[in-house]
Amino acid sequence: MQEVVSSFAGMAIGSYTIRSRLTTGKDCTLYLARDDRGSTVVVKILDLASDIDSARFMLEINTMATFRHPHIVPMLSHGKGAHFLYYAMPWYRSGTLSNLLTGKLMPIPLACDFAVQTLRALHYCHKRHIIHRDVKPDNLFLDDTRLNYLLLGDFGIIHDDASGLTDDRKTVGTPEYMAPEQCTGEPIDARADLYAVGCVLYHLLSGKPPFPLPLDNSNGWIACMYRHVHDAPTDVREHNPNVPAALWAVLAQLLAKEPDERQATAEVAALHLRSFVDA
């Protein structure tokens, strides 16, 4: 894979000229590129090294190609080369929600608004039987032209019952934002994404996720996942006394260990949080 990927800089792929590498993940590499109108975009490229990788990448492409939602990162185009698959998407210079996590407490209406925007995107996904499985600040992009406007991105590890694609990595996701059932590798449904939104909202309101990764432990991800499964989150009001009791009740329900105890849908959760946006 590395031999092919390392040769992409400077190449013309479809209507894009690859400029520089942004980041390399487990399976794919992201590049900054320029389209034929001179606009900067991001191109995600997968070397065709294994059948499972290409099948999962094609699921990502096919899913994004059909999505049309104001809070989901749009796909611009996709294609195939001799030894690779790719798709293009906008480049958001403003970065992601992680850029706003400065250690300071976010205003409560803004934090809840970000959660509501994310839940609206997820409701759209869930109605189409897509579970994101990796909702986190790094995957929530800040629009460059609209203030405090989020778009959900990175559909690389989605779960789709209709795809028939099995995943050898049953425990997938980002430990600080994973639902208990996700941590244990049990079957999941859309309510795992609701738990992740709860973790993101907790982070925005308190300055840290409910179960942060231990910095002094090389196996900290194991300890973090254990806590998701076994420990109750600290009342967010201990970190931020301005949080109303009613908001903590909604957040605590999102963070319930049992999926049946969470809100039934992303739409219901968004409705519960909406009143705190307008407060």
Residue numbers annotated as active site: 134
Model pLDDT, residue 1: 31
Model pLDDT, residue 2: 37
Query: Average pLDDT of the chain?
Result: 91
pLDDT band of residue 165 (cuts 50, 70, 90) is low
Model pLDDT, residue 173: 87
User: Does position 201 have pLDDT exceeding 90, yes or no?
Assistant: yes
Model pLDDT, residue 220: 85
- The arrangement of secondary structure in 2-90, i.e. its CATH architecture, is 2-Layer Sandwich (3.30)
The domains of the chain are located at: 2-90, 97-277
Q: What is the CA radius of gyration of the chain?
A: 19
User: Does position 89 have pLDDT exceeding 90, yes or no?
Assistant: yes
User: Which region among 77-86, 117-126, 214-223, 235-244 has the lowest average model confidence (pLDDT)?
Assistant: 214-223
Q: Options 1.10.510.10, 3.30.565.10, 3.40.640.10, 3.90.1150.10; which CATH number does 97-277 get? A: 1.10.510.10
- How many helices (H) and strands (E) are present in the chain, helices listed first? 8, 10
Considering the entire predicted model, what is its pTM? 0.92
Copy the structure tokens of residue 148. 């405090």
Copy the structure tokens of residue 153. 């991105």
Model pLDDT, residue 4: 41
User: Does position 149 have pLDDT exceeding 50, yes or no?
Assistant: yes
**Residue environment code for 62-79, b if the CB has 16+ CB neighbours within 10 A, otherwise e:** ebbeebebebbbebbebe
User: Does position 123 have pLDDT exceeding 90, yes or no?
Assistant: yes
Model pLDDT, residue 23: 87
